[in-house]
Amino acid sequence: MNGILDFVAGLGRAVLDMVRMAGKVALFGAVALSHVVRPPFYWRTLWGSLVEIGYFSLPVVALTALFSGGVIALQSYTGFAQYHAQNAIAGIVILAVTRELGPVLAGLMVAGRVGAAMSAEIGTMRVTDQIDALTTLSTNPMKYLVTPRLVAGTLALPFLVLIADILGVLGGFTVCVMKLDFSASAYIAATIASLKVMDVTVGLVKAAIFGFLITLMGCYHGYHSRGGAEGVGAATTAAVVAASILLLTFDYLLTDVFFSQ
Amino acid sequence: MTEPTPKIRIRGLKKAFGPKVVLDGVDLDVMGGTSFVVIGGSGTGKSVLLRCILGLITPDAGSIEIDGVDVTTLTPRQREPYMARIGMLFQNGALFDSLSVWENVTFGLTAAARMGHGPRLTRAQSRTRAGELLEQVGMDPAVGALSPAELSGGMQKRVGLARAIAARPEILFFDEPTTGLDPIMGAVIDGLIADCVRKLGSTAIAITHDMASAQRIGDRVGMLYEGRLIWQGLPSTLFDSGNPVVDQFTHGRREGPIKVDVGK
C-alpha cells in the first residue's frame, strides 16, 4: 500500500514540477517579448544572432534537407513502384518536404547547433557574473541577451526552412532523374502541380514558432544555469532536449490545427 | 549640530537561502568619500551583502539607503538612476567575452547614454575614451583591441577596474579585488583602487579576506561573522582589535571561537 502511495506522490510531484516549470518558462518568454516594443533596442546583438542562426546554420540545414528529399524519393519509389504509382513521387516529396521535413529537420538541426551554443554562452555568462555585470552597467540582461535572440530565432528559421524546402525538392529531383531515370520535365511539372501555397505557408509559420521555442529554451536554461562548468553542461543538454521535445509536440499540434480537416 | 547623512546606510539587513541564514541583521554606515572594507571567512555572506546593495539579490528584511533613499523599496526602473552612479569590480573581472577590451571598458558609458544618463559617443570617441581609461589603470591603450580571453588575470582585473570607473561613479564596489593574484599584482591593484577612489572622491565598499589588501584600501574595516558585522575599526587596529573572533581571523589561528568545518 505504501509503495502505491509513494508512486502516486512521486507522480504528483513530477506533474507539479512540470507545471511550475511551464509557468516559469512562459513568464520568462513573456518578459522577454515585452522588451520587443520598449527601447532601447540592441540592433547589433540582433544582427549578430541573425547571422549566427540564419547564416551559419545554412550548411547543416542544406545538407540535411538535400539528403532527406533524396531519401523520401528513394523510399517512395520502393513502395510505389509495386503499384505503378511512380508519378505520385514528385507530389509526395514536395508535400513531405514543405509540410514536415523542412520545418522539423531544420528545427532539430538548429536546436542542436544554436540552442546548445546559446545555452552554453548565456550559461557561462551567468556563472562568471557577466549577467550581474550587465545589471550593474545599467543594462537589462533580458533586453540585451534574450530578446534579440528570440526575435532572431523567430525570423531566421523561416528563411532556413525556405532554403530547406528548395533543397529538399532538389534532392528528390536529383534522385528521381539521375538514379531512377525519371523525365526531368515531367518531374518538374508534377512538382509544380502539387505545390500548394498553403503547405509552404504553414511550414514557414511552423518554422517561426520552432525558432522561437528553440531560442527560448536555449536562453531560459542558460539564464538559469548554476554551479560552474557542470551546471552549464547540464543547462545545454536540458536546452536541446526540451527544445526537441517541444518542437515535435508543437509540430503535432500545429499539424492538427492546420491540416486535420 | 546634526550629523551628516551617510552615503550608504544599512539597517537590519537579513537574507536567508532556505534554512541557511546568511545575513542576520547587518547594520552599516559608510560616509561619503570614504572606503569601507568588509572582511570575513568564505561563505560568511560578504558577496551576498554586496549583491543586496547592488539590487542583484532581494533582501528578506531591512533597509539599504543611498543618499537617504531606501533603494530596496524601488522598482527596477526607479533604481536605474542609482545604478548609473555605481561602479562594480567583480571578483573575476566579469568581462564580456563577446566584446573587445575597449568595448568592455566603455560598455557602461554607452548603456548610460542609451538610458539618457550621459552623452552619446561615436565609436571612435568611445575607443579614445577607453584608451584614456586603460592608461589610467596602467595599461597600454593598444590592449583595447584584444579580446578579454587574451589577457592575464591581473590585466582582466585592471580592465574591470577601468570599466568600473568609466562613468566616474559616486559609489564603487570591489568584490575580492586581489583574489587569485600574486602579492605584487595584488598590491598594484590595491594601489590603483586607492588612487581611483581618491581621485574620483567616490565612496567605496570592498570585500576581501586578504588582510594586506584590507589595510591598503580601507579607511575603516568591519568583520562579518555569523550574519552580522561584529566589529568595526581602523585598518591600523586590524591585528590588535581586542575582539577574539577578529584576532583569530586576522592572525589565521586554528584555535579560537571560529570553528571551521574541515569535513572530517
Contacts of B136 (CB under 8 A, 6+ apart): B162, B165, B196
Q: Position B192: which residue type? A: L
Residues B46 and B41: their CA atoms lie apart, in Å, by 8
* pLDDT tens track for A153-197: 999 999 999 999 999 999 999 999 999 999 999 999 999 999 999
Residues of chain A positioned with their CB less than 8 A from the CB of B90: 129, 132-133
Q: Which domains does chain B have, with CATH numbers?
A: 8-98+170-251 (3.40.50.300)
Quick one: pLDDT at residue B261? Answer: 65
CB B54 within 8 A of CB B171: no
- CB contacts < 8 A (A, B): 51
- For B166-221, the pLDDT digits (tens) are 988 999 999 998 888 888 888 888 988 888 888 889 999 999 988 999 999 999 99
Nearest CB to A136; choose among B54, B96, B115: B54
Q: Rounded CA gap, B123 and B135, in Å?
A: 18
Mutate to test the interface with B, among A128, A136, A232 (most CBs of B within 10 A): A136
In the sheet with B86-89, reading across from the earlier edge strand, the strands are B86-89, B171-175, B203-208, B35-39, B220-225, B228-233
Q: Choosing among B96, B120, B175, B207, which should be mutated to test the A contact, i.e. which has the most A CBs within 10 A?
A: B96
Q: Is the Cβ of B97 closer than 8 Å to some Cβ of chain A?
A: yes
Asked whether B127 and A164 are in contact (CB, 8 A), the reply is no
**What's the sign of the alpha-carbon dihedral A81, A85, A90, A93?**
negative
Which residues in chain B have Cβ-Cβ distances shorter than 8 Å to A132?
51, 54, 56, 90, 94
The amino acid occupying position B52 is C
Beta strands across the sheet bearing B8-17: B20-30, B8-17, B61-66, B69-70
Q: What is the tens place of the pLDDT at every residue in B92-140?
A: 889 999 999 999 999 999 988 887 777 888 999 999 999 999 998 889 9
Shortest alpha-carbon distance between residue B95 and chain A (Å): 6
Kindly determine whether residue A138 and residue B88, on different chains, have CB atoms separated by under 8 Å.
no
Question: For A105-127, b where at least 16 C-beta lie within 10 A, e where not — what string?
Answer: bbbbbbbbbbbbbbbbbbbbbbb
Question: Does the beta-carbon distance from B111 to A138 stay under 8 Å?
Answer: yes
